[in-house]
Every structure is written in structure tokens, then in C-alpha cells.
Amino acid sequence: MASALGLALFAGGCTTLSNIGNGISLVTASVSNPVTPTREAQIEGVIDTAIAALNGYRQACIQGTADKPCRANIAAIQKYTRQMPTLITQLRTFVDNNDQINATVVYNQLLNLYATFKTTAANLGYNVGNLP
């Protein structure tokens, strides 16, 4: 299962899932720990990579080169990744406007969503990186 995903990512020129977020520490935002443009870019990059990895796996599934339960695996993970783009757009707007209250709420929602995505992927046998 993981080898098919790895092959799909390698063939697509993407990073492996285990490298998502290397060197980035995503910590819960708060009033004393605001969401900066750098933090917004970090979480956006991590989520973009995760979505690209899922798309690579999906393509391998369509081509028949992924593991047998690939459709069920994609369905289990996709319910989280589909929510992420809207939240990223909201976060970008809030950070650009320096609306820290709403940026903090959305950032923390993205962290929780990513954590759930990561746990679900791990339960299916995929390592999606070393982020908290």
C-alpha cells in the first residue's frame, strides 16, 4: 500500500509523505502566539503537500497501480482534505488583514483538521510527516 503511494509520488516529482513538514513546527496559535504570514505560509505548504500526495495516490488508484483498498483509503482521508482549501483561503484573508482573532480560530481549526487527517492516514498505514 505505502509502496504504491510512494511510487505515485516519486513518479509525479512530489516529496514522500514522510518528508511533509520536516523542519516545521506547527504550534497552536493564540493571542500571545499570533498567526504571522510565515506561519500561514508554513501550514499552507504542509497542507498543499498533503493534498498533492493524496492526488498522486488517487491517480495511482485510477491507473490500477495502487493497493487494493485504495478507494476506501482515499474516501477515509479525503473527507478531511476537502475542508482544508476553504479554511486556507479564510486564513490567508485574515492574516492579510491582520485579523488575529479570526486568524487564530481558523489556524487552530486547520491544525486540528490536519491532526485528524494525519491520524487517519497513519491508521491506514501512511506516515504523513513529523508534525504534531
From residue 32, give the alpha-carbon distance in Å to each of 87, 101, 124: 22, 11, 36
pLDDT score, position 15: 36
- Write phi, then psi, for 67 (nearest 5 degrees): -65, 165
β partners of residue 33: 30
d(CA 80, CA 117): 6
Q: How many CB atoms lie within 10 A of CB 119?
A: 12
Q: Report the range of poorest mean pLDDT among 11-25, 37-51, 57-71, 115-129.
A: 11-25
Which is nearest to 45 in space by CA: 122, 124, 114?
114
d(CA 48, CA 105): 20
On average, the pLDDT of the chain sits at 78
Checking if the pLDDT of 118 tops 70, the result is yes
From residue 92, give the alpha-carbon distance in Å to each of 37, 41, 89, 106, 126: 8, 9, 5, 10, 29
Q: What mean pLDDT do residues 47-55 have?
A: 86
Q: Which residue has the higher pLDDT, 27 or 101?
A: 101
pLDDT score, position 65: 92
